[in-house]
Amino acid sequence: MDFAEIKNILESHDHYTILTHKSPDGDTLGSGFALCDVLRGMGKKANVVNSEAFPPRYGFLFENYAPMNFEEQYVIAVDIADTQLLGSGLSAYAEPGRIDLCIDHHVSNKQFATQTYVDANASAVALILYDLFRFMEIALTKTAAVCLYTGIATDTGCFKYENTTPAAHLAAAGLMAHGIDFSGINRKMFDVKSKGRVLLEQSAVANMEFFFDDRCSMLIITRQMMDESGMEPAEFDGLASIPLQIEGVEIGITVRQRHERIFKVSARTTERFDASEFCRSFGGGGHKRAAGCEISGTLEEVKDQLTAQLRVLFGYTK
Amino acid sequence: MDFAEIKNILESHDHYTILTHKSPDGDTLGSGFALCDVLRGMGKKANVVNSEAFPPRYGFLFENYAPMNFEEQYVIAVDIADTQLLGSGLSAYAEPGRIDLCIDHHVSNKQFATQTYVDANASAVALILYDLFRFMEIALTKTAAVCLYTGIATDTGCFKYENTTPAAHLAAAGLMAHGIDFSGINRKMFDVKSKGRVLLEQSAVANMEFFFDDRCSMLIITRQMMDESGMEPAEFDGLASIPLQIEGVEIGITVRQRHERIFKVSARTTERFDASEFCRSFGGGGHKRAAGCEISGTLEEVKDQLTAQLRVLFGYTK
């Protein structure tokens, strides 16, 4: 389907429900609230929903938002590749035929909606919407501009990562013209951490282990460390990027204890190694530079399994 | 002066020396090597010089560069606001009349050169050069694109900070079209840290102090910590941004011991406070959100002086 068809859809109905994915990030929320703002601006009724309460961290995206009462007519999912990502609170929408349209940028999209628009080359769903709204010749409000900027910035690591496209930069330039406080947004999204998070990082880094001539580093987060930090689960995101930030490290591993004998392992690699292949050997998977798996056992057993596999990868004979 | 005049200057001579500032950053080096690359592409002889050896951290900017032999005809300073920033190795150029042209983006530029082009609204000197080269209709090499991208990205904190302009994003989009490995550049510039740096950060954060209901945090780096880390002085850059990254902190202070009884203090503030005003009360200065000063005394005395001033600022009566 193309932008003309989506435009037609957005003009044809009166009431829209917009679904965002569980453990929501800046792109699903930014896209959802931007779309809602535009639809309401067109005189429609629209709501954004999530499996749980919207995280306060993203409060600036919905500070002027209040849910409306209406009878649902049309359902749009944004940034949702699979109905599993709806979460238990929205599981009713997982039934076939419940979602009318899905707008997404994941190549792995499961095509669960009646109609699906996927652009796997788009840095963010917010970028697809930015282009869509331009196609529709919509004058964005400042609120919509804040939401779209946040979606694009968060999904690209503030224009830092490989998935950043020239189009992402052009959109940022266009959105900045709306007078948004982009540096304040970036500070909230990328710089500010809770005191608990900072102290947890500190104690994890203090105990970081190095293997194979410092070419591998391993960050270990135990239940005890998590409990002592007093942090929300969502605050643990992003820890997996720490081990690879150390100069010379080619494989960065993060081991996070989920239950007594179950550990979630995240692997991050530089160009020389395939994280996805590494994690597949433990029954996991993911992308070339970022992948994950789950391993059972004591912490020592898990570390032994990981280092044995790493030894082979690095080509060490003993 | 305007771009037409600079174009005329770059076409009128055969041999150019390009000066970069001491303790060089991505913008002075990126600008310097981009200008050198363009001049050489025009059939001129050109060299980039610095007070000291170019830091290996920026090696990707000059991996294909070798100095040429020639008799100096014309001298251009890039990103240098004051002759004091030339450093001892280039102090001969501080004499009046030695520098023919200065291209800069600091509002504080001292107009020390025979001719000066300052655009204080430009995010980086590399952005000025990007626009200049477009004006001159120069087809950039990949090397020049890497250099200009690096200058813009580093001076804007990867498009994160207030000084990022729509023009900076447009330039990034244009430079990416040259097939540069921008994500690799960003990883080197923003993510990778030496093991020593990571461990120093960890021990500093572990001992970070909080004042006034956690609205102020203070990071203290003693000589001993620096000596034990085995780090190069340049590697200490960026530590000052850590205290303000903690949620709720409005004034982040970093105290770095320079000599037994001399401490360099950096202050970073959110919108509510003026860092420059705070540092002026200790004889220092700077920008509204980032400023510095030097205080003498024992560490305890310095901390007492700082907290006394902070108490007034925060409006605590005792």
- Name the nearest CA neighbour of B168 among B133, B128, B108: B128
- Name the nearest CA neighbour of B47 among B87, B15, B95: B15
Q: Which of A190, A218, A237 is the last residue of a domain?
A: A190
Burial tier of A242 (Cβ tally within 10 Å: 0-12, 13-18, 19+):
buried
- Residues B166, B169: Cα–Cα separation, whole Å: 5
Contact present, A243 and A249 (Cβ < 8 Å): yes
Q: What are the pLDDT digits (tens) for B51-100?
A: 999 999 899 999 999 999 999 999 999 999 999 999 999 999 999 999 99
Where chain A has pLDDT below 50, the residues are none
Distance in Å, alpha carbon of B154 to nearest chain A alpha carbon: 11
Listing from the earlier edge strand, what are the strands of the sheet with A290-296? A209-211, A216-221, A251-259, A262-269, A290-296, A285-286
State residue A318's pLDDT score. Answer: 63
What's the complex ipTM?
0.87
Cite the beta strand spans of B26-92 per DSSP E. Answer: 45-49, 74-78
State residue B238's pLDDT score. Answer: 76
Two structure tokens written together for B64:
């294909």
State residue B318's pLDDT score. Answer: 63
Distance in Å, alpha carbon of B270 to nearest chain A alpha carbon: 9
The three state secondary structure string of chain A is CCHHHHHHHHHHCCEEEEECCCCCCHHHHHHHHHHHHHHHHCCCEEEEECCCCCCHHHHHHCCCCCCCCCCCCEEEEECCCCHHHHCHHHHHHHCCCCCCEEEECCCCCCCCCCEEEECCCCCCHHHHHHHHHHHCCCCCCHHHHHHHHHHHHHHCCCCCCCCCCHHHHHHHHHHHCCCCCHHHHHHHHHHCECHHHHHHHHHHHHCCEEECCCCEEEEEECHHHHHHHCCCHHHHCCHHHCHHHECCCCEEEEEEEEECCEEEEEEEECCCCCHHHHHHCCCCEECCCEEEEEEECCHHHHHHHHHHHHHHHHCCCC
Q: Both A42 and A150 in a single domain?
A: yes
State residue A136's pLDDT score. Answer: 98
Which residue among B172, B202, B245 places its CB closest to the CB of A191? B245
Which residue among A161, A194, A208 places its CB closest to the CB of B183? A161
Q: Both B137 and B160 in a single domain?
A: yes
The answer on pLDDT for B202 being more than 80 is: yes
Q: What are the pLDDT digits (tens) for A40-67?
A: 999 999 999 999 999 998 999 999 999 9
Q: Which helix (H) or strand (E) holds B253?
A: strand B251-259
Q: What are the pLDDT digits (tens) for B112-142?
A: 999 999 999 999 999 999 999 999 999 999 9
Q: Both B179 and B206 in a single domain?
A: no
Two structure tokens written together for B48:
């980039």
Q: Both A106 and A237 in a single domain?
A: no
Q: Both B186 and B213 in a single domain?
A: no
Question: Cβ neighbours of residue B190 under 8 Å, at least 6 residues apart?
Answer: A160, B157, B158
The pTM assigned to this predicted structure is 0.88
Q: Which of A190, A214, A241 is the last residue of a domain?
A: A190
Distance in Å, alpha carbon of B222 to nearest chain A alpha carbon: 18
Domain span at A255: 195-314
The CATH number covering residue B56 comes to 3.90.1640.10
State residue A234's pLDDT score. Answer: 66
The residue of chain B nearest to residue A205, with distances taken between CA atoms, is: B202
State residue A317's pLDDT score. Answer: 75
Mode of pairing for the β-strands spanning B74-78 and A15-19:
unpaired
Q: Which residues of A touch B201 (CB under 8 A)?
A: 205
Is A165–B182 a contact, with Cβ atoms under 8 angstroms apart? no
Is B195–A186 a contact, with Cβ atoms under 8 angstroms apart? no
Domain tally, chain A: 2
Q: Both A36 and A159 in a single domain?
A: yes
B167 Cβ under 8 Å from any chain A Cβ = yes
Q: Both A31 and A102 in a single domain?
A: yes
Q: Both A44 and A161 in a single domain?
A: yes
- Residues A144, A132: Cα–Cα separation, whole Å: 13
User: Strand pairing partners for A101?
Assistant: A76, A115
Q: Using CA of residue A284, residue A288, residue A291, residue A297, what is the dihedral sign?
A: positive
**Interior/surface letters B87-104, b for 16+ CB within 10 angstroms, e for the rest:** beebeebeeeebbbbbbb
State residue A207's pLDDT score. Answer: 85
The residue of chain B nearest to residue A57, with distances taken between CA atoms, is: B247
The answer on pLDDT for B200 being more than 90 is: no
Q: Both A36 and A122 in a single domain?
A: yes
Q: Both A159 and A262 in a single domain?
A: no
Q: What are the pLDDT digits (tens) for B264-308?
A: 999 999 888 999 899 999 998 877 888 889 999 999 999 999 999
Is A192–B164 a contact, with Cβ atoms under 8 angstroms apart? no
Q: Both B207 and B175 in a single domain?
A: no
A192 Cβ under 8 Å from any chain B Cβ = yes
Q: Both A283 and A146 in a single domain?
A: no
Distance in Å, alpha carbon of B84 to nearest chain A alpha carbon: 31
Q: Which residues of A touch B193 (CB under 8 A)?
A: 245-247
Q: Which of B144, B170, B190 is the last residue of a domain?
A: B190
The CATH number covering residue B232 comes to 3.10.310.30
